[in-house]
Structure 1
Amino acid sequence: MGKIVISSNVTLDGVVQDPDGEEGFEHGGWFHQFVAHQDLEAWVARETAELRDVEALLFGGRSSEWFASRMLSADVRVSPEWADRVKSLPKYVVSSTLEDPRWTNATIINAKEVAELKQTVDGEILVYGSYRLVGTLIEQNLVDEVRLVVFPVVLGSGRRLFDETIDKLPLHLVDTRTIGETLLYYAYEF
């Protein structure tokens, strides 16, 4: 049976919106503004290690297109090992509008098929970005774990990871550590 894991970069006040600044959000671009060089190297090492244990990736349509555009370009700004692993993994894209994903190894599914996917994949199914999908997965009680890398900035506004939760979510802390000198990592089981 699969385990759905949300892996996300967040600000100290929980904002996940527009970390690279390409969406036009007034506070966008916080990822590179608030990460030191040594922290970025440690962040890449953590991301790469996490991906080694993953059996599949799960995306919403917009996040799938965003990641595909970066992974399929010649200018991949992360580690080659991480990028190669992302490209090679099976990818499941939850979308009602996307017909032809840009990825290889990609399958379009609908939100109702995620529970079936969880039954057929043996291992971790990692979700990057896809914050609307994350809300749906939490609402359907399909998320097993959330892993957060917290950046040292408070934005005051913006879309938060848990904006669309409809009830209290008791979580159990399973891991915490520093990444580099200024980033914090927290892992919680649902």
Structure 2
Amino acid sequence: MRKIILNVAISLDGLIEGPNGEFDWCFTDNDYGMTDFLESIDAVLYGRKSYEVLMKMGPNPFANKQTFVVSKTLSGHADYTLLNGDVIEKVKEIRSSEGKNIWLFGGAELMTSLIEAQLVDELMLAVHPIILGKGKALFDELPGRLMTKLIASKTYPSGLVSTHYSINY
């Protein structure tokens, strides 16, 4: 079975975006393991807001991956498979299909729903050495504790710490 892996940049204070939705604080000076990660996946799962933000930046940098967008308001498009209705069941079907792992790109609401349904297998958090103070918290909406087990971690000269956890439901 494929794994669903949340891979996201996060600040020291647990935020995934600044107060105006910005993520200009994310380091881009190094690969930080992304090439290896991208080789391990063949699909990307987005919430509508995350997908729209990424598309405003230019062409889809992950166009060579199967793209799924969860939305109640978007209509279908040639560039992605739209998931609406019973999203949890549809994600279960995708997860049980043949293929490599699936990148849960975001956002926080989709991540919360999938964790509540016990569909997220691993967390890969790129912890940036910055405190944003205000913004959107990654785990703000979780209903309770989530136990994890460290798989790996790597510290970079920039101060970024890449962490990789499995989730123990």
Which amino acid letter does the alignment assign opposite residue 29 of structure 2?
Answer: E
Identity %: 29
Deviation at 1:159, TM superposition (A): 1.7
Change (3 A) 1:180 1:47: farther
SS at match of 2:137: coil
CA deviation string 1:129-188 (max 9, x = no partner): 311101111111100000001111122332211111112101000010013421111010
Matches within 5 A, 1:98-137: 98-101=74-77, 104=79, 106-110=80-84, 111-112=87-88, 113-137=90-114
Q: Which runs of 4+ in 1 moved over 2 A?
A: 68-71, 155-158
Deviation at 1:45, TM superposition (A): 5.0
The answer to which structure has the higher helix fraction is 1
Q: Separation in 2 of the partners of 1:167 and 1:109?
A: 27
Deviation at 1:30, TM superposition (A): 5.1
Deviation at 1:29, TM superposition (A): 4.7
Deviation at 1:127, TM superposition (A): 1.4
Change (3 A) 1:152 1:30: farther
Q: Separation in 2 of the partners of 1:58 and 1:89?
A: 10
SS at match of 1:138: helix
Residue 87 (structure 2) pairs with residue 87 (structure 1): no
8 Å CA contact 1:3, 1:143 repeated in 2: yes
Question: Quick one: which of 133, 147, 150 aligns to 1:156?
Answer: 133
8 Å CA contact 1:152, 1:182 repeated in 2: yes
Q: Separation in 1 of the partners of 2:111 and 2:23?
A: 21
8 Å CA contact 2:32, 2:162 repeated in 1: no
Note the residue ranges of structure 1 that are not aligned, 5 or more in a row: 74-82
SS at match of 1:171: strand
SS at match of 1:41: coil
Question: Quick one: which of 25, 30, 42 aligns to 1:31?
Answer: 25
Note the residue ranges of structure 2 that are not aligned, 5 or more in a row: none
Question: Quick one: which of 26, 29, 53 aligns to 1:41?
Answer: 29
Matches within 5 A, 1:59-78: 59-72=46-59
Q: Separation in 2 of the partners of 1:45 and 1:11?
A: 15
Normalised TM-score (structure 1): 0.78
Q: How many residues align?
A: 164
Q: Separation in 1 of the partners of 2:64 and 2:150?
A: 31
Deviation at 1:64, TM superposition (A): 1.4
Could you tell me which residue of structure 2 aligns to residue 174 of structure 1? Answer: 151
Could you tell me which residue of structure 1 aligns to residue 73 of structure 2? Answer: 97
Q: Separation in 2 of the partners of 1:121 and 1:11?
A: 34
Deviation at 1:50, TM superposition (A): 1.1
Deviation at 1:71, TM superposition (A): 4.1
SS at match of 1:31: coil
Q: Separation in 1 of the partners of 2:147 and 2:97?
A: 27
> Which deviates more from structure 2 when the two are superposed, residues 133-142 or residues 178-187?
178-187
